[in-house]
């Protein structure tokens, strides 16, 4: 059987036989952990104000469209339910 290894030998937790134990690593050296978090945060590509505004507007528009759809669906179902109840009485 061929043993598969990570291309980075220093990468721990890349195989099921050596699972990552994040909580132990944080407790052993919290300063190193915070430094690594800070380094990763600098790698993040943050959205621009324009992208954020577009995303927020899309969420708002979709919320309005979906609320109108469910209002219409509710009215149609109400109409058929009232029709069914009138027929059965």
62 shares a domain with 81? yes
In-domain check, residue 29: yes
72 shares a domain with 49? yes
86 shares a domain with 55? yes
What are the tens digits of pLDDT across the range 62-71? 999 999 999 9
40 shares a domain with 20? yes
What are the tens digits of pLDDT across the range 17-47? 555 566 666 677 888 888 889 999 999 998 9
In-domain check, residue 85: yes
What per-residue confidence (pLDDT) applies to 28?
A: 77
What per-residue confidence (pLDDT) applies to 15?
A: 55
51 shares a domain with 26? no
11 CB-side CA count, 13 A: 7
Looking at the 3D structure of the chain, how many domains does it have?
2
33 shares a domain with 23? yes
pLDDT value at 8 more than 80: no
DSSP secondary structure string, 24-71? HHHHH-HHHHHHHHHHHHHH--PPPHHHHHHHHHHHHHHHHHHHHHHH
């Amino acid at each position: 059987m061929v043993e598969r290894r990570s291309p980075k030998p220093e990468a721990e937790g890349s195989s099921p036989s050596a699972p990552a134990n994040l909580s132990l690593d944080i407790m052993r050296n919290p300063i190193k952990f915070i430094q690594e978090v800070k380094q990763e945060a600098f790698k993040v590509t943050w959205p621009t104000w324009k992208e954020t505004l577009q995303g927020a507007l899309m969420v708002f528009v979709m919320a309005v469209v979906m609320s109108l759809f469910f209002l219409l669906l509710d009215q149609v179902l109400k109409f058929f339910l009232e029709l069914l109840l009138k027929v059965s009485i």
